[in-house]
Amino acid sequence: MVGEDAGQLKGKVTFIRDLGSSVETFIDVEGTMIVAVTSPRERQDLSVGQNIGLQLPAEQCVVLTK
């Protein structure tokens, strides 16, 4: 997750879930939900409704299908 103008993709934070050992940030990118999972140490100061940019290095991505 990067600044709104710095990412390959742009989206809006819709939900943040703190699971203790990890933090899930749900981001709506043009109707597609992307979930970014970070450690609490890596957690950025984001809020629901905030527009952000995303960098998606292929080696760090996992795609799940329905």
**Model pLDDT, residue 1:** 67
Q: Do 37 and 23 form a contact (C-beta atoms < 8 A)? A: yes
Q: What CATH number was assigned to the domain covering residues 9-60?
A: 2.40.50.140
Chunked mean pLDDT (size 10), the chain, 66 residues: 76 95 94 90 89 86 79
End-to-end, the C-alpha distance of the chain in Å comes to: 24
Reported pTM: 0.81
Alpha-carbon distance 49 to 66, whole Å? Answer: 26
pLDDT of residue 11: 94
Pairing between strand 32-38 and 9-18?
Answer: unpaired
CA–CA dist 37, 54 (Å, integer): 13
